[in-house]
C-alpha cells in the first residue's frame, strides 16, 4: 500500500472472492465525481438541530447518480440525521430544525411549495429495523406504498414479482405471498422492506444501517441487492460496518463529532478513504482505532 | 440405566419485612374481591324471593305493579322495559361517543401542538371527574330543549324509519336525550383509552408509511387505526359499562314508563339503575326485594361487560 497520509497498515478489507460482489466498485465509477443534475442529489451547507441541540453542521455532499455512497462514522455523529434530512423525514421529529439546501435534480426540496410527500415517493427510505406492516401479507406489503400514495398500477402481480425479484427475495417467497410479512426471517423482512420501497420506483434510495440487525448470510444478500439496484438508482447508505462500506459503496463520507455538532470530515472514492484518506482521523476510524 | 436423581425442593426465603408487606398487599387485594362477593351475595340473598317467585319472567315482563301493599301475591314485578332502556340508551351513547372519541384522540395524539395536547389531556381527566348529577341537571336544562328541536326535525323527515317514529309527537325526556347525555358523560373515558392506544402505535411503522409517500391520514389509516382497534373496543366497553350503570343523569332525563320502547324520540323509557333510585324511597318490603333483584341483574350485566372489556384490552396489549 502506498500512501503518504494514512499509515502503512491501511488496507481495504478483503472480501471472499466468491461473494459475487468483489468487483472493484470504485473503478466502474471512477471519474464520475462531476455533478450530475439528472436524478442527482446534493446537500449544500446543511445543518440540523433538535430543539437547541445543534446535531449536524455545514455538510455539503454530492451523490452522483447511480452510485452507492456510504455514510460512515461513530455513533452520534449525525449520519442518520443527515440521511433523514435527504427525504424530509427529519421534520417528523418534534422541534427538529434545519438550515442549508438539499438539491434534488437541482431543486431545493425544502423550498416553499414543495410537496414533501412527492419528495418521499421519489426518494425512498429503508430503516435500520425491518418494519413490514404487520396487518398485511407479503404481497400487500410490497404494494403498500402504492396504496398509501394512492398510485394506480395496471398489473399488481407483475409489480410484486418485479420488486421482490430486484430485492432478491422472489424465489424465497413466491409460493407464500399471502403469508404475513412478520412470518419472514429478519433478513427476508429487510429485503421485503427494500422491495416495498422499490414499488414506488424511486430515483434515490436511502438506507439507514439496513444490515445492522442481520446475520452475515442475510447481510450478504442485502448487499448484493444494493449493488444491483445501484445500476438504476442513486443509493445513500449509513453503515457502521467498515467492510460493508468497502464492499458496497463507490464513495464514502466520513462524519465525526468532536463533542459539538457532527461534521463531514471528508468524502471521496471509497478506495481512497480506505487506502489513502486525506485526514488522519479518517484513517484512524477506518482502521478501527476508535469509534 | 441410571434413574434420574431425586428432584430437590427449592425453598424461597422471605425476610420478615417481605412477609409483612406480602400479607398487607395480598389482604388489600383480597379485600376488593371479598367486597365484590359480599355485594353479590347480599343482592342475591335479598332478591332471592323475587327470582323464586318470577324466575326468568322478572327480566322479560315489563310491569311494575305492587298491587295490594299488604299482599305480595298481588304484585307483578318485571324489569324488561328497564333492561331494554339500559341497553338502548347505552348503545346510543356508544354510537355517538366512539366516533367523537376517535377523532379527539387522533387530534390530541397526532395533530395538536404540544401545549394544547397537555391541556386537553388534563381537561379530559377533569371532565371525567364531574359528578353525574351535574351532568343530569345540565342535560335537563340545556340539552333537553335542544334535543326536543332535533327530535321534531328527525320526526318530521325520518318518521318512516322505525327508530325515529313516535305515536304522538311529544318528545322531551326521551331515550335519545338520555343517550346523548350519556355520550357526553362517557366521552372522556373512551377518548382517554383511545388516546393511550393510539399513542402506542409503533413509531417505526408510522415512519415507514411516511417514507413511502403516505400522507398523515394514510399513515393513521394504515398503521394507527388497525393497531388501536382492539384497544378502542376495550375503551368503548368501559364506556358502555358506565352508561348502563348510570343512575342520576338518566333519572333526570328519561321518563320512567314501564313499556318496552325502541322509539328513541318518544318520551318514554327508563333504565334499571334509575328505576331503583326512583322506587327505593317509598318501596314496600316486597318491592324492595324486587329492587334488590333488579340491582343484581344490573350488577351481573355490568360485570359481564367489564369482563369482556378487560379481556379485549388485555388481548390488544399482547399484540404489542
Query: What is the pLDDT confidence band of residue A34, given thresholds at 50, 70 and 90?
Result: very low
Please, are residues A153 and A142 in contact by the beta-carbon 8 Å criterion?
no
Kindly write down the DSSP assignment for every residue of B124-165, as one continuous string. HHHHHTS-HHHHHHHIIIIIHHHHHHHHHHHHHHHTTSGGG-
Q: Length of chain B in residues, anyone?
A: 320
Nine cell digits for residue B73: 301475591
Count of other CB atoms within 10 angstroms of residue A71: 29
- pLDDT at res. B282: 86
Cα–chain-centroid distance for residue B267? 22
Please report residues of A whose CB lies closer than 8 A to that of B208: 127, 131, 133, 193, 196
Ranges under pLDDT 70 in chain B: 1, 313, 316-320
| Helix B272-280 / helix B80-106 crossing angle, nearest 10 deg | 120
> Who among A127, A129, A145 is closest to B213 (CB)?
A145
* Domain ranges (residues) in chain B: 81-319
State residue B316's pLDDT score.
63
Grid cell at residue A189: 423482512
Which residue from A minimizes the CA distance to B228?
Answer: A135
Angstrom distance (rounded) from CA B257 to CA B267:
9
Tens of pLDDT, residue by residue over A198-215, are 999 899 999 999 888 788
What is the CB neighbour count within 10 angstroms for residue B272? 28
Residue linked to cell 392506544: B197
A interface test, pick of B109, B113, B200, B208 with most A CB neighbours within 10 Å: B208
Residues A136, A139, A144, A146: is their CA dihedral positive or negative? negative
Q: What's the Cα-to-Cα distance from A60 to each of A88, A265, B151, B186, rounded to whole Å?
A: 16, 11, 66, 55
Inter-axis angle of helices B80-106 and B285-319, nearest 10: 30
Over the stretch A16-32, which tens digit does the pLDDT of each residue have? 444 434 344 444 444 34
CATH superfamily of domain region A66-78+116-254+263-286: P-loop containing nucleotide triphosphate hydrolases (3.40.50.300)
Q: What is the pLDDT of residue B320?
A: 42
Chosen for mutation from A109, A120, A129, A148 (greatest number of chain B CBs closer than 10 Å) is A148
Q: According to CATH, what is the number of the domain B81-319?
A: 1.10.3720.10
ipTM of the complex: 0.78
Mutate to test the interface with A, among B204, B211, B214, B227 (most CBs of A within 10 A): B211
Chain B residues whose CB is inside 8 A of the A149 CB are 212-214, 218
Instruction: Give residue-wise pLDDT tens across range A133-186.
Output: 988 899 999 999 888 888 888 888 999 999 998 888 899 999 999 998 888 988
CB A277, CB A283: distance < 8 Å:
yes
Residue B205: list chain A partners with CB under 8 A.
Answer: 131, 133-134
* pLDDT one-digit tens code per residue, B1-43: 678 888 888 888 889 999 999 999 999 999 989 998 999 899 8
Retrieve residue B67's grid coordinates: 298491587
Say what the pLDDT of residue A8 is. Answer: 40
Predicted TM-score of the model (pTM):
0.77
Amino acid at each position: 500500500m502506498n500512501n503518504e497520509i494514512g499509515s502503512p497498515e491501511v488496507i481495504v478489507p478483503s472480501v471472499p472472492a466468491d461473494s459475487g460482489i468483489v468487483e472493484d466498485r470504485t473503478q466502474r465509477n471512477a471519474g464520475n465525481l462531476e455533478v450530475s443534475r439528472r436524478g442527482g442529489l446534493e446537500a449544500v451547507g446543511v445543518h440540523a438541530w433538535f430543539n437547541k441541540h445543534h446535531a449536524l453542521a455545514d455538510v455539503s455532499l454530492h451523490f452522483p447518480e447511480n452510485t452507492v455512497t456510504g455514510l460512515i462514522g461513530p455513533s452520534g455523529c449525525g449520519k442518520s440525521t443527515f440521511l433523514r434530512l435527504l427525504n424530509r423525514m427529519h421534520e417528523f421529529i418534534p422541534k427538529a430544525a434545519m438550515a442549508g439546501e438539499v438539491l434534488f435534480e437541482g431543486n431545493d426540496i425544502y423550498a416553499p411549495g414543495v410537496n414533501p410527500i412527492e419528495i418521499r415517493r421519489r426518494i425512498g427510505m429503508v430503516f435500520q429495523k425491518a418494519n413490514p406492516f404487520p396487518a398485511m401479507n407479503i404481497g400487500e406489503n410490497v404494494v403498500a406504498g402504492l396504496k398509501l400514495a394512492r398510485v394506480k398500477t395496471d398489473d399488481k402481480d407483475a409489480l410484486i414479482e418485479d420488486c421482490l425479484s430486484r430485492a432478491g427475495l422472489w424465489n424465497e417467497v413466491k409460493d407464500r405471498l399471502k403469508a404475513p410479512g412478520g412470518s419472514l426471517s429478519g433478513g427476508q423482512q429487510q429485503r421485503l422492506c427494500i422491495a416495498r420501497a422499490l414499488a414506488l420506483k424511486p430515483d434515490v434510495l436511502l438506507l439507514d444501517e439496513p444490515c445492522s440487525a442481520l446475520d452475515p448470510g442475510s447481510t450478504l444478500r442485502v448487499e448484493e441487492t444494493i449493488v444491483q439496484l445501484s445500476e438504476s438508482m442513486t443509493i445513500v447508505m449509513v453503515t457502521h460496518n467498515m467492510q460493508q462500506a468497502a464492499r458496497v459503496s463507490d464513495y464514502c463520507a466520513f462524519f465525526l463529532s468532536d463533542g459539538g455538532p457532527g461534521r463531514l470530515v471528508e468524502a471521496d472514492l471509497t478506495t481512497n478513504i480506505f487506502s489513502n484518506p486525506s485526514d488522519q482521523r479518517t484513517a484512524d476510524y477506518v482502521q478501527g482505532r476508535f469509534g | 440405566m441410571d434413574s434420574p436423581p431425586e428432584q430437590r425442593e427449592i425453598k424461597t426465603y422471605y425476610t420478615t419485612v417481605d412477609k409483612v408487606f406480602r400479607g398487607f398487599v395480598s389482604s388489600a387485594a383480597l379485600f376488593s374481591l371479598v367486597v365484590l362477593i359480599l355485594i353479590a351475595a347480599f343482592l342475591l340473598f335479598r332478591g332471592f324471593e323475587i327470582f323464586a317467585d318470577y324466575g326468568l319472567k322478572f327480566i322479560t315482563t315489563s310491569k311494575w305493579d305492587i298491587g295490594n301493599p299488604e299482599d305480595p301475591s298481588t304484585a307483578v314485578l318485571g324489569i324488561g322495559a328497564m333492561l331494554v332502556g339500559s341497553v338502548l340508551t347505552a348503545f346510543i351513547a356508544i354510537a355517538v361517543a366512539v366516533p367523537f372519541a376517535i377523532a379527539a384522540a387522533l387530534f390530541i395524539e397526532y395533530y395538536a401542538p404540544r401545549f394544547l395536547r397537555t391541556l386537553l389531556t388534563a381537561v379530559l381527566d377533569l371532565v371525567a371527574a364531574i359528578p353525574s348529577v351535574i351532568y343530569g341537571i345540565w342535560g335537563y336544562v340545556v340539552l333537553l330543549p335542544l334535543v326536543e328541536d332535533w327530535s321534531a326535525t328527525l320526526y318530521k323527515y325520518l318518521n318512516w324509519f322505525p327508530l325515529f317514529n313516535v305515536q304522538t309527537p311529544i318528545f322531551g325526556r326521551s331515550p335519545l336525550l338520555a343517550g346523548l347525555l350519556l355520550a357526553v358523560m362517557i366521552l372522556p373515558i373512551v377518548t382517554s383509552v383511545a388516546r393511550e392506544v393510539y399513542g402506542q402505535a409503533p413509531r417505526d411503522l408510522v415512519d415507514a408509511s411516511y417514507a413511502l409517500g403516505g400522507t398523515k391520514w394514510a399513515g393513521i389509516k394504515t398503521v394507527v387505526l388497525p393497531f388501536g382497534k382492539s384497544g378502542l373496543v376495550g375503551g368503548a366497553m368501559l364506556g358502555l359499562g358506565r352508561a348502563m350503570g348510570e343512575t342520576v343523569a338518566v333519572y333526570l332525563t328519561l321518563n320512567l314508563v314501564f313499556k318496552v320502547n325502541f322509539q328513541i324520540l318518544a318520551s318514554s323509557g327508563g333504565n334499571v339503575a334509575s328505576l331503583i333510585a326512583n322506587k327505593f324511597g317509598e318501596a314496600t318490603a316486597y318491592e324492595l326485594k324486587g329492587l334488590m333483584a333488579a340491582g343484581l341483574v344490573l350488577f351481573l350485566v355490568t360485570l359481564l361487560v367489564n369482563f369482556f372489556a378487560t379481556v379485549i384490552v388485555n388481548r390488544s396489549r399482547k399484540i404489542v
